[in-house]
Structure 1
């Protein structure tokens, strides 16, 4: 395990804080920070490999292959691979307050799985969360997933024109369980988008005290 030396940060004389040590100027990149959720543009960090190095930075005509960018808002490091993949990715979707505990943790674990590029896990967790939503609204526990899809649809918890979304999630969940192929980022986005919509409609917009 790598040991991070105590002097990895240098002292900041202006605000008595700490900042990253010996950063360089990089080609500017826009991204959403996984730590603070801000959409930022950063040109500070560390280059794994770059061209036309000059004075400890990147020349205007250079091509950064991959490296670490620091968020100008919270100073959190974000790594971009040579294939332009971001680690960690921001959690997908919005935070939804006051969800039942057994739904809240599944939804947020699915979002965290997406952030870690664990897309198959995100699909399975979204499917489980959908089952728990049905159980929360009175469906019998221990049934097959298709039963919960029908329960939600027949009892008006799903918008009339959205059942195709649920069927798509059901198919993805079955494929993730029984087939070897890993799920893609796009498939995980589809399941999480639908799950978020269902949670917002049934828990955020339709509270009993409104």
Structure 2
């Protein structure tokens, strides 16, 4: 997880009594802020009043902007889940692919996920300079993808290559699906392998 540091000394905040529960985009924790800045304003084309907030995370002390009409948050939580025990270069690519989705950069996310999977394959013995499809096949051949997930392989090849060779941008669904696949694969290779090392004879 990226270390954003801690912001000290927020001044002139008001007590918001934990009124809003949200997932902090910095530390990924589900929190209820006790401190915030609040703005009350009248909508331009109606008589209705809306509120905007800058919530201070009680965990990491970082600010999250929240608008209540329409509801939206910035920064949003990165999709996917943190995976422990990742090498630094693999973690950086995985988090970059996730972060792309927080700004709707779906095609960029797909391309970074593609690079992530290629790097993981090379780190586990695949030769450099192969096609993306060959790297995906490497995971199958090395039994790093379980039989339950092999039906996804053809789609994965198509989406990964399509990000480079088609003019149409990748969809949010494609990008999130690929993030989910990367999460599954990384957990299998790094987290599960760490917790359950092969038995020695």
TM-score (structure 2 length as normaliser): 0.74
- Offset from partner CA, 1:160-196 (integer Å, 9 cap, x none): 1112333333333233223344334333221111101
Q: How far apart are residue 102 of structure 1 and its match?
A: 3.7
Report which structure shows greater RCO (CA 8 Å, sep ≥6).
2
Counterparts of 1:53-202 in structure 2, within 5 Å, are 64=50, 66-80=52-66, 83-202=70-189
Tell me how many residue pairs correspond in the alignment.
185
Greater shift after overlay, 143-152 or 97-106? 97-106
For structure 1, the residue ranges without an aligned partner over 5 or more in a row are 1-8, 10-16, 52-61
Q: CA RMSD in A?
A: 3.2
Q: How far apart are residue 113 of structure 1 and its match?
A: 2.2
Q: Does residue 31 of the first structure (1) align with residue 17 of the second (2)?
A: no
Structure 2 SS opposite 1:107: helix
* Larger of the two Rg values belongs to structure: 1
Contact 1:89 1:114 in 2 (8 A): no
Change (3 A) 1:68 1:194: same
The whole-number CA distance in structure 1 between the counterparts of 2:176 and 2:115 is 16
Change (3 A) 1:64 1:104: same
Contact 2:78 2:101 in 1 (8 A): yes
Change (3 A) 1:181 1:49: farther
The whole-number CA distance in structure 2 between the counterparts of 1:26 and 1:175 is 48
Contact 1:124 1:176 in 2 (8 A): yes
For structure 2, the residue ranges without an aligned partner over 5 or more in a row are 1-6
Structure 2 SS opposite 1:85: strand
Change (3 A) 1:72 1:154: same
The whole-number CA distance in structure 2 between the counterparts of 1:100 and 1:176 is 26
